[in-house]
Amino acid sequence: MSPDKQPTIDPKQDGPYLISGLTSLRNREGPLETRPTMALCRCGASANKPFCDGTHASVGFSSAKLDDRRADKLDTYAGSEVTIHDNRGVCAHAGVCTDGLPGVFKLGQEPWIDADAASASEVAAIVKACPSGALSHAVGGEEHSAPAGEPSILIAPNGPYVVSGGLELLDTQRGEGASTEQFTLCRCGGSKNKPFCDGAHWNLEFADDES
């Protein structure tokens, strides 16, 4: 792969993520050894996580989206200084927004976003930190996207693959307004919106202490 070509992620039907050209794969302990092509588990059952060991075939893993998944819908919350966009359909429920700006992102309330409760710069920082790319924002009518970075995959503890740096996700329809620069991919096998994480690992109590 040429140096100027972005790494790719190919979610194989009922199988693993086939990763090509990635040189930055990390877990909470630090960098992991990479290969030009790697197969990462997404059924949640591999004995060699994060890598696929073929278990998806024996457990009957399905990569299909489910009809009762959260709707792919972009909601807009306009404030005097900043407008916040949100697509709950691709949210991984990491809690970055509700923990970081609880006055803006009000868990359990409707409307759940108050765009006037913080400055544009504070909102921008939270949007940048949102791992799923479900959040975006605009200031003065100008849309802002996450800045480009090194292509990387972080294996979240007991959670999804956190993808950043604009890796190309092949043959996959994006959520409305969702970031192409950063997003989260299910690795517990339980998301209703595969390949994207929908927070199912919390309910499933997915555990992967080694990764």
Please report which confidence band the pLDDT of residue 97 belongs to, taking 50, 70 and 90 as the band edges: very high
CB 178 within 8 A of CB 166: no
Domains and CATH numbers, the chain: 8-65+149-172+184-204 (3.40.5.90), 74-144 (3.30.70.20)
Rounded to an integer, the average pLDDT of 141-169 is 92
More confident residue, 32 or 5: 32
Q: Give the pLDDT confidence score for residue 2 in this predicted structure.
A: 47
Rounded to an integer, the average pLDDT of 40-50 is 97
3-state helix, strand, coil in the chain (%, to 5): 15, 25, 60
Rounded to an integer, the average pLDDT of 52-56 is 98
More confident residue, 48 or 144: 48
